[in-house]
Chains A and B, each alone.
Chain A
């Protein structure tokens, strides 16, 4: 018992107690069929901060991230146990439809996935229109604002009516960020948003993240440790479906408490 309690403390450190936690997960398990992909994960995400999830491929980072948005609902034979709290409301409460939560949790996927038949403009406002906002002026304003935040406005201000597919890969990814921001979420999940991009686009997206964290709780899954160091405040290291270490980014990378973490951040495996 003592050992378990100790490990739990290590897994979820009290990060600056004065900060409010936007999102909390308690004992989350994710199964694909009989295979357990995420084991007993307890983690807290403070608001107005960036938390990076790192770990070798197949360690369950993406799987975990997707259950913060109930994206597993659509995967047949995936099953989620445990509690995911957003502002103290349980995402997996059976009496509440997931779309109530999805409005508050935006997500950017690994590969850019704009709607190919829609224009740039329509892509950004797709989610806003769902929420019943039809006023042209307001939509225009949201589009400009969100594209600005995603550092895309200057590049597309004159081609808003063109199909989204005419943009480059990096621009498409930033368009996806703008689309996720347009529904004014409170939490932004990013699943390796820069993995398919060139260095310049990556840099732009990292700048975007720095800007966004003034307001949002951002959780970013990344393969790239430099990226985690550059843009996150907290880092969680996952291995084989478990959270091995969680703390301030500086501490995790410079003075890791766990041997496995130390090995990983020094690039000895992964």
Chain B
């Protein structure tokens, strides 16, 4: 921005002062976010220090979870794994769907594509807790009877993943709801990323006689690879932090019981254990520090996924800014 704001001869002093105050006030408001992130990380670290001192690496790699005073033992591994597995499953299910939707919106005439895009975006507006309610009272019952039971009856004995008791409150149900919830994030970003592919690239593919789908494969996907990866990472970040719907559907096992052994087992994720136990944790003892420690891990995972995602999406845009050569 050019620095050519009025240089009047008789600048009243008060003006200058208020100008400066205004500028610093806005800068402070902007820098607030940096302060919040810093203070948050420090505070979570400080408040969870007792658990790190007590358990050390055992806190990340242990599987015990006992909050009875005197026999306290905390290991977050089942929840870390639960988060990673549900998120990865959700991504595996949601990513192809999202790319498909983004492709459909791109190949449809604008008149139809725009409302479809909007409809998909509306999924994002549905609160997590409503997703949970629907999953708990509606989806779970159908899913249990028409998908999980047949799968279990057919493959339960031979395939390890389909063992367990289909009850509807398990890893798979939670992952499917998560997949639906991350679709709007991934599809809207991948749509933007794919629309940023220059028209000349698409024309080059069409010129060679490609069909629409071959054009995507030849021109759009390779060009927007990094951005699509970034979109997937943002979806993953969303899935990792998602709390309510997962809490209501994952079955809430604790400790070693929460170690994932089958898709039809109850599990637990980092956000859900916090949501379930934070209020019950006694102020003395290690329970609260343990939950805060999980929060710290969650913050670390969430921040690193999103930082990586933004770098990828940002790089994609940089490629677009310059000419091809």
Using a CB–CB cutoff of 8 Å, the interface residues on chain A facing chain B are 69, 71, 74, 76, 99, 102-103, 106-107, 109, 111-118, 126-127, 130-131, 165, 167-169, 172, 176, 179-180, 183
The main secondary structure of chain B at its interface with chain A is: helix
Contact with A along B11-25 (1 / 0, CB 8 A): 000000000000000
A71: which of B206, B208, B214, B325 is its contact (CB, 8 Å)? Answer: B206
B223: CB under 8 A from chain A? yes
Q: Which residue of A lies closest to B219 (CB)?
A: A115
* A127-B208 CB under 8 A given contacts A76-B109, A117-B222, A117-B225: yes
Q: Which residue of B lies closest to A104 (CB)?
A: B209
* A169-B325 CB under 8 A given contacts A76-B109, A113-B198, A113-B203: yes
* Contact yes or no, B209 A103, CB < 8 A: yes
* Contact yes or no, B208 A183, CB < 8 A: yes
B324: CB under 8 A from chain A? yes
* Contact yes or no, A126 B201, CB < 8 A: no
The answer for the CA separation of A113 and B198 in the assembled complex, in Å, is 9
* Contact yes or no, B324 A113, CB < 8 A: yes
A102: which of B209, B222, B223 is its contact (CB, 8 Å)? Answer: B209
A113: which of B201, B210, B211, B214 is its contact (CB, 8 Å)? Answer: B201
B204: CB under 8 A from chain A? yes
The answer for the CA separation of A118 and B34 in the assembled complex, in Å, is 41
* Contact yes or no, B211 A176, CB < 8 A: no
B123: CB under 8 A from chain A? no
Using a CB–CB cutoff of 8 Å, the interface residues on chain B facing chain A are 109-110, 198, 200-211, 214, 218-219, 222-223, 225, 319, 323-325
Residues of A within 8 Å of B214, CB to CB, are 130
* Contact yes or no, A172 B325, CB < 8 A: yes
* A115-B325 CB under 8 A given contacts A102-B209, A103-B209, A130-B210: no
* Contact yes or no, A117 B207, CB < 8 A: no
* A183-B204 CB under 8 A given contacts A165-B325, A172-B324: no
The answer for the CA separation of A255 and B208 in the assembled complex, in Å, is 39
Residues of A within 8 Å of B211, CB to CB, are 99
* Contact yes or no, B110 A76, CB < 8 A: yes
Q: Report A104 CB to chain B, min CB distance, Å.
A: 9
The answer for the CA separation of A269 and B204 in the assembled complex, in Å, is 33
**7 A/B residue pairs, CB under 8 Å, sorted by A:** A71-B203, A99-B209, A102-B208, A115-B205, A115-B219, A130-B210, A183-B209
* Contact yes or no, B206 A116, CB < 8 A: no
The answer for the CA separation of A69 and B206 in the assembled complex, in Å, is 10
The answer for the CA separation of A44 and B70 in the assembled complex, in Å, is 95
Q: Which residue of B lies closest to A171 (CB)?
A: B325
B207: which of A106, A165, A168, A169 is its contact (CB, 8 Å)? Answer: A106
A-B contact sample (11 more), CB < 8 A, given A103-B209, A126-B205 = A74-B202, A109-B200, A109-B204, A112-B324, A115-B205, A116-B222, A130-B208, A130-B209, A167-B325, A172-B325, A180-B208
* A180-B324 CB under 8 A given contacts A115-B201, A117-B222: no
The answer for the CA separation of A245 and B202 in the assembled complex, in Å, is 33
* A99-B210 CB under 8 A given contacts A114-B324, A115-B204: yes
* Contact yes or no, A112 B219, CB < 8 A: no
Residues of A within 8 Å of B225, CB to CB, are 117
